[in-house]
Amino acid sequence: MAESQTDHTHLPLSPSLRICRILNGMWQVSGGHGFIDAHHALEEMTRYVDAGLHTWDLADHYGPAEDFIGAWRTQTGRGDDIEAFTKWVPRPGPMPRGTVEAAIEVSRQRMQTHRLDLLQFHWWDYRDKRYLDAMKHLADFQRVGLLAHVGLTNFDTVRTAEIIDAGVPVLTNQVQYSLLDQRPAQEMAPLCAERGVYLLTYGTLAGGLLTRRFLNRSEPARGSLETVSLRKYKRIQEAWGDWSLFQRLLQVLDDIAQRHQVSIANVATAAILERPAVGGVILGARLSIRQHIDDNLRALALQLTDDDRRQIKAVTDHGADLMARIGDCGDEYRHRW
């Protein structure tokens, strides 16, 4: 796998798939992040694409996300200008070929495309091994052209290796990865680097906690935070360390940001983008509410120094080992912690 490139903005995940390394995350249109105006959302999608942020991450269960992609393609006639990665998140159970094909067809129709760029598969219960049936069918549908590529979402290292060993051409695994949650670095990233799989990371800004907004601020109660993302990642921050340690991290990130004339969010993003096996970072797009196009572009241009990395590590080394506390990648969705 090619780990380095002179173009820090783009990365070829395969010979036929070149992405922007910051992906626009569409979980935010599914609810819990404010009212989304559909008309203005579609207009804003064009601004993202025209700025060079042309890769989108969505899912079958992210409210109207797939429909937004389809509407944008229909209205603009620019379907070839974007890459749109969706997810299939079925309930565990029998996975005959027809069930898998029907799920693909729903996404193809909603997204107005004859072939899905990347279908990322999630499975809730490892005790039900029929995820292997689903993945083998997805590989078959890739071979006949309904899918360009197959990926995973929130699979742990053991099952990722198992699926690859079963002959499924896994291109990506989407996992939580941030300066607070560095679990992927322990086992997942080494496996991916060895087996030619790229990580697409989310939660990299901890829902917005890893921004200047929370620097020198007293600790908010989890329930007082206004979005689902902030409430979700406040729990991760609490598992990682107390608020005073988190403030130390924000201060270090702010010092680095000021030296480079960028934002705290840029530093937190760049720190994960440069990690082994990371193909791209997914940053939420609150379409029609708030956009960070210019700021995201600055993150793509930022190159951290060895001194920057040492300063960050001097703080993060004091945080809890979330691998020991939560488990491997994706385990937060499968058991209590």
- Give the model confidence (pLDDT) of 67-79 as tens digits: 999 999 999 999 9
**So what's the pLDDT on residue 53?**
96
CA dihedral 235, 237, 239, 241 (to 10 degrees): -150
Phi, psi (deg, nearest 5) at residue 21: -75, -10
- Tokens describing residue 313: 């590590």
- Give the model confidence (pLDDT) of 102-117 as tens digits: 999 999 999 999 999 9
Mean pLDDT of all residues in 320-327: 97
The Cβ of residue 60 has, within 10 Å, a number of other Cβ atoms equal to: 18
**So what's the pLDDT on residue 35?**
72
CA distance 278 to 264: 20
> Between residues 288 and 238, which one has the greater pLDDT?
238
Q: Mean pLDDT lowest for which of 46-60, 135-149, 151-165, 274-288?
A: 274-288
Mean pLDDT of all residues in 322-329: 97
User: What is this structure's pTM?
Assistant: 0.95
Phi, psi (deg, nearest 5) at residue 174: -95, 120
pLDDT band at 30 (very low <50, low <70, confident <90, very high): low
CA distance 138 to 167: 11
CA distance 199 to 275: 10
pLDDT band at 7 (very low <50, low <70, confident <90, very high): low
Mean pLDDT of all residues in 254-282: 98
CA distance 326 to 321: 9
| Percentage above 70 pLDDT, the chain | 96
Residue closest to 100 by CA, chosen among 137, 71, 75: 137
Mean pLDDT of all residues in 264-284: 97
